[in-house]
Amino acid sequence: MTSYAEFHRRSIDDRDGFWREQAGLIDWETPFSQVCDYSNPPFAKWFAGGRTNLCHNAVDRHAKTHPDRNALIWVSTEVDKEVVYTFAQLQAEVQRMAAILLAQGVKPGDRVLVYMPMIPEAAFAMLACARIGALHSVVFGGFASVSLASRIDDAQPTVIVSADAGSRGGKVVPYKGLLDEAIRLAQHKPTAVLMVDRGLSPFERVPGRDHDYATLREQHMHAEVPCTWVDSTHPSYTLYTSGTTGKPKGVQRDTGGYAVALAASMKHIYCGNPGETYFSTSDIGWVVGHSYIIYGPLIAGMATIMYEGLPIRPDAGIWWQLVEKYKVTVMFSAPTAARVLKKQDPAYLKKYDLSSLRALFLAGEPLDEPTATWIAGELNKPIIDNYWQTETGWPILAICNGVERAPTKFGSPGKAVYGYDVRLIDETTAEEITEPGKKGVIAVEGPLPPGCLQTVWRDDERYVKTYWSSIHNRVMYSTFDWGVKDEDGYFFILGRTDDVINVAGHRLGTREIEESISSHPNVAEVAVVGVADQLKGQVAMAFAVLKDPSQADTPEAALKLEGAIMKVVDDQLGAVARPARVRFVTGLPKTRSGKLLRRAIQAVCEARDPGDLTTIEDPTALLQIKDLFTPS
Ligand code: AMP
């Protein structure tokens, strides 16, 4: 058996040989002529010359060999429904959706924006796009009209697929009004909107633009839409992620590289086998939903559970009940969910037969030791932390038990995953850090392995400038995370180097929230920082300077204004981006050149030393914030 160290070394030293072997895990219509074309760094073309299709690999090839195996298991505790689709049934539904999209004029390379709750039609829409060579651009259902409008303008979709409403904790969350407002705000107008009517929230139809999914589905009941074979480098989707500027970036993924990367990760990292069931508790609006609710498990021939609902409703045993019922072997969630469960009666974790479950993977945010120890003890299963980003699409750091069993270390997501030449870089000297325990920026030598972003949608320059130019004099991919490595090669993540924050495993750009708050007529200036939180990992905290401070001169007035500002954020970006508090100050701490001292603000909010403040223009501004956080 190969040791993991050898496996990893080969993936770097014999890159093409290594990935040629992994490419055998998927079907190719035309074999590739080159494994990796890196003639134009940092742009990597994986499996150049090859032609394949993501939907074929996720659905059709299994529908042919195992038509009656479970493929998509939809469970909603919001509307109390459970529907199981076999591979044959999923293939039929995807063909119906594909036929509808084609009839609406969607062509290969066109974008289809998916703004949907966790319902099967969302999965059909994504797979249908892949089937016909169109790109899906899924926008998380929790985002509101301004966020949605900016994504519509960037993706310029031909068609938008949406639904009347989602539901959260039994409360209906209408989507259509937000969508209509977003389309009104956007410069780009889609030619058609396909509406799935769940009967949850009545809505107005725009004549000529809005179409009813159920009616069209009936018309295409027996549709046969063959997979369109596309070049391996053909983009499969864009997915927006927050960065340091207000404008979200469209992460663009290819087809062949992504399929190979996911297939390999299912084998070497998640250890899921065909015919088994995978349960990822994420949402299709996030990268984990793309890679490990939809494509990864299906490519591996597994059934995947798509769950609409909360982890604690009807009670905190619901996830484990599903594990028992569907004999889940691999489960994937986020540390925040584990912290939510930790607050509930632990008896729920013992109530069900979890013998099928091999491991629980957690990712998306730092996994704290008390949570990891607690859940490992209660479940009596391995808890495997893994670290990655929307950009990479699959883990950068993990324990690859499919290659060689290795111990986990609390607080560490593990070692560099095969294919990633991970280095720790000294921020000031740009030298590589080899000394164990010394902090550096986690960076990756190019080319990035298959499956990672090809570029930023329609903005190659931004791709190079953002990701490959931040390390002085070196062309290296920066993760924008601090980390340290121990003597055994295990990494520990120490937080972001930029202004991105992570709330309950969801990445938010502080700039976006600041821009939204600034649109309130009484806000002159605002700073938003991420502050440590026991449950959510981090929460956003806003400090605003008012144009008219008299509107917040009593505690009641301040509270009212705070509520009004939060409503602005809710309406524009969605409740996910709402800051935990908006506090009013008379000035913000800045350097003499006017740069906001966010790290210093964050430090005082977390009762830490703010560090070197010799460049600060007005120290009282920081003291004011400190006072707000010091119990009197
Ligand atoms: P996103 O693109 O939204 O998945 O966010 C990616 C960011 O989340 C990373 O750059 C890290 O800052 C953080 N992150 C993801 N996984 C982990 C993990 N296992 N441990 C610590 N931080 C993580």
- What distance in angstroms lies between residue 346's CA and the mean position of ligand 1's atoms? 27
User: Tell me, what's the pLDDT at 246?
Assistant: 66
Q: Is 479 in the pocket of ligand 1 (CB under 6 A)?
A: yes
| pLDDT at residue 2, as a whole number | 84
- Nearest CA to 52 among 80, 75, 74, 24? 24
What residues in the chain have per-residue pLDDT under 70?
A: 1, 244-246, 631-632
Separation CA 526–CA 513 (nearest Å): 9
**Do 225 and 95 touch, CB atoms closer than 8 A?**
yes
pLDDT, tens digit (0-9, with 9 covering 90-100), for 263-295: 999 999 999 999 999 999 999 999 999 999 999
Q: Residue 153: enclosing H or E segment and its boundaries?
A: helix 145-155
Q: Are 285 and 48 in contact (CB under 8 A)?
A: no
Output the pLDDT for position 498: 86
In the numeric block, which tokens belong to residue 180?
């209509």
CA of 214 to the centre of ligand 1 (A): 38
Domains and CATH numbers, the chain: 56-64+88-228 (3.40.50.980), 500-628 (3.30.300.30)
Query: For 214-218, which contacts have Cβ atoms below 8 Å and span 24 or more sequence positions?
Result: 216/100, 216/103, 217/96, 217/97, 217/100
Q: Which of 87, 94, 154 is nearest to 120 (CA)?
A: 94
Query: Rounded to the nearest 5 degrees, what angle is found at the Cα of 310, between the Cα atoms of 305 and 314?
Result: 100
Q: List, for residues 34-48, the tens digit of each pLDDT value.
A: 999 999 999 999 999
Residue 38 corresponds to which tokens in the numbers above? 């890196």
Taking CA 581 as the corner, what is the angle to CA 577 and CA 582, rounded to the nearest 5 degrees? 95
Q: What is the pLDDT of residue 631?
A: 59
3-class SS of residue 435: coil
Nearest by Cα to 413 from 435, 442, 391, 446? 442
Of the residues 138, 283, 493, which should be mutated to test ligand 1's pocket, given the most ligand atoms within 8 Å of the CB? 493
Give the number of other Cβ atoms within 10 Å of residue 608's Cβ: 12
Task: Determine the pLDDT at residue 510.
Answer: 87
- By residue count, the chain amounts to 632
Question: What pLDDT does 180 receive?
Answer: 98
Token reading at 367: 């996994």
What is the structure's pLDDT at 552? Answer: 93
111, 130, 186 from 153: Cα distances, Å: 11, 21, 6
d(CA 318, CA 348) in angstroms, rounded, equals 9
C-beta separation of 19 from 36 below 8 A: yes
Distance from residue 509's CA to the centre of ligand 1 (Å): 13
Ligand 1, pocket-test mutation among 387, 392, 396, most atoms within 8 A of CB: 387
CA of 506 to the centre of ligand 1 (A): 9
Dihedral sign (CA 467, 10, 394, 536): negative
**Cα(481) to centroid(ligand 1), Å:** 8
Q: Beta partners for 529?
A: 541
35-50 per-residue burial string, b: 16 or more CB within 10 A, e: under 16: bbbeeeebbbbbbbeb
In the Cβ-directed half-sphere of 342, how many Cα atoms lie within 13 Å?
A: 19
pTM (two decimals)? 0.93
Nearest to 578 by CA among 471, 521, 628, 504: 504
Q: Please give the Cα distance from 291 to 297 (Å, whole number).
A: 8
